[in-house]
Amino acid sequence: MPRGARLDAPGTLHHVIVRGIEKRKIVKDNQDRRHFVSRMGRVATKTETSIYAWALMKNHAHILVRSGAAGLPAFMRKLLTGYAVTYNLRHRRHGHLFQNRYKSIVCEEDAYFRELVRYIHLNPIRAGVLNKLSQLDRYPWCGHGALLGYAENDWQDVDYVLKWFGRKLGGARRKYRKYIKRGLKQGHRPDLVGGGLIRSAGGWSAVKGLRRTGELRKGDARILGSSDFVEKMIKESDLRRRYQFAADDVLEKVSALIHEECGKREVSVSAVKAGSRARDISKLRADVAPILINEFGLSHAESARQLGISTSAISKIIERHYKS
């Protein structure tokens, strides 16, 4: 069966899984690990790709990312090609290092964001590399430690992740760690990494239940989300074939508009991007979001990224805008 085209646009949330060819190692020692992680950070910064969670294993890697203006393929190409060239030179080998096609799953953010952060960051324990959570707290080859403040990765979007757990830093970190701890006994999650309807429905047992009741539900191997989300993403992907990604000049105009509005209202752009809930900033978002979507043609996800809030918050703003 032919593989479907990748679903992507600026602002799309992806769970990316990279595997070594024929299940071979992609890192042999800490020097390789440092090179992979540092390159991932540099490329993310250059392509404006947001990284929320990651885990580097011996023969594979998981990354939870939001694609930037250049799109996910540009980020992954720069990361994997550059790393593979250096790896081959260092270890005096030839040929492919990675499977030809990395796996990318478009994710429904409100339903799965926290679950994916936890699933990815627990990989080293689930694989038996580490034995307990206290070891994971300071493990350098996973994004978990940065969320707790034990590591400094300036390219990892720690603030965005912690906002899902609380408004104050200390409390958010404590709630995040408790959430991670509760996931230690979950083991493998077929509902997060399965295929097609198995993933979208929540596992094979759920699919069998749907068959017994006769309920129809849409699923797609490229998407993690509800039936409605799957249908929405497929429809949007059909439209994107005509328009590709938003051009750089469009995003530059968006940035200029946000800076202009912040200047008029005497609020900080960084506060907007960081998700501040101050009344004047919330009002700015309510005024600007409809312009980003209706005049600039941005998706809800990309508008959310530009304004420092979730896609569901953007949807509520647009709904209120059309009701008013």
pLDDT confidence tier of residue 238, bands split at 50, 70 and 90: low
Where do the domains of the chain lie?
Answer: 13-182, 246-324
Q: At a CB cut-off of 8 Å and minimum separation 6, what does 84 contact?
A: 96, 97, 98
210 has pLDDT over 80: no
Strand order in the sheet with 50-56: 50-56, 60-66, 13-19, 103-107, 223-224
CATH ID of 13-182, from 3.40.50.1220, 3.40.50.11780, 3.30.70.1290, 3.40.50.620: 3.30.70.1290
pLDDT of the residue at 142: 98
pLDDT digits (tens, 9 = 90+) for 280-324: 999 999 999 988 887 777 777 888 989 999 888 888 888 787 666
Least confident of 69-73, 153-157, 177-181, 191-195: 191-195
279 vs 213: which has the higher pLDDT: 279
Is the predicted pLDDT of residue 197 greater than 80, yes or no?
Answer: no
Query: Residue 321, class by beta-carbon neighbours within 10 Å (0-12 exposed, 13-18 middle, 19+ buried)?
Result: middle
Per mean pLDDT, which of 97-101, 192-196, 236-240 is the most reliable?
97-101
pLDDT in tens, 15-41: 999 999 988 999 999 999 999 999 999
Name 101's Cβ contacts closer than 8 Å, sequence gap at least 6: 3
Average pLDDT, the chain: 84
Helix H or strand E segment including 242:
helix 227-243
Residue 205: count of CB within 10 angstroms of its CB: 11
CA atoms within 13 A on the CB side of 203: 6
End-to-end CA distance of the chain: 48
Residue range 112-140: mean pLDDT, rounded:
96
Cα dihedral 120→176→128→43 (10° resolution):
40
With tokens 């939870």, the residue in question is 64
Assess whether pLDDT exceeds 80 at residue 56.
yes
- Torsions phi, psi of 15, nearest 5? -100, 110
Q: At which residue do the structure tokens 């096609």 appear? A: 101
pLDDT for position 218:
47
Question: Going by C-beta distance under 8 Å and a sequence separation of 6 or more, which residues neighbour residue 95?
Answer: 21, 88
What Rg, from alpha-carbon coordinates, does the chain have? 20
Question: For tokens 């038996």, what's the residue?
Answer: 128
Q: What is the pTM of this model?
A: 0.68
- Residue 14 has what pLDDT? 92
